[in-house]
Amino acid sequence: MYYLKNLLIGLATSVAAYLNPISGDIKSLIALFAVNFLFGLLAGLLVHNESFSFKKAFRCILEAMAFFVMVCAIYYIGEQKGNPEGSLQCVSFVTYSVFYFYGVNILRNWKQLCRQGSATYKCVSFIYYVVSVEFIKNVPFLNNYQKIKINQ
């Protein structure tokens, strides 16, 4: 058992050393997924009166793992192709894309948690409105175009 433990520690250390160039991306994704999980849990418990669901929690963890695997795979493939700078740029693009979509989700859940009319609600509502590009729905020509495209 002692040898297995040392083998696993050595393996984990070598993987961590290999992934060191993207460690900042991985750490920030961990923080993002933790905040998303927390705000989703709070919104579910306090706003929607749901009980804790292991199924939803497990799904959230699986989604996070999928992004970690994707980021690590992108870095590995870029390294093997001899283009580490390109792989770092691609990892950065994926990370910022995840930040955007999960950030919008966090803002939506945070908005639901705030008391309507409070300063926090107004601030979070405004940020959510801008970040989620809700204002585009108010562009008259765009609405007409979307209606025409749906009917065709």
CA distance readout (Å), 105 to 33, 34, 39, 78: 11, 13, 9, 30
pLDDT of residue 126: 93
> What average pLDDT does range 140-146 have in this prediction?
71
C-alpha 2: how far from chain center: 37
pLDDT of residue 25: 96
pTM over 0.85: no
For residues 133 and 74, the model is more confident at 74
**Percent of the chain beyond pLDDT 90?**
80
pLDDT digits (tens, 9 = 90+) for 107-137: 999 999 999 999 999 999 999 998 888 766 7
Q: Which two tokens stand for residue 107?
A: 């803002």
pLDDT of residue 149: 65
Whether 87 contacts 18, CB under 8 Å? no
Q: Give dist(CA 78, CA 100) in Å, integer.
A: 24
For residues 134 and 7, the model is more confident at 7
- What secondary structure, in 3-state letters, does 124-138 show? HHHHHHHHCCHHHHH
Average pLDDT of the chain to the nearest whole number: 91
Q: Which of 88, 83, 80 is nearest to 20 (CA)?
A: 88
- φ, ψ for residue 26 (rounded to 5)? -65, -45
Tabulate helix, strand, coil % of the chain (nearest 5).
85, 0, 15
Please report which confidence band the pLDDT of residue 45 belongs to, taking 50, 70 and 90 as the band edges: very high
C-alpha 76: how far from chain center: 21
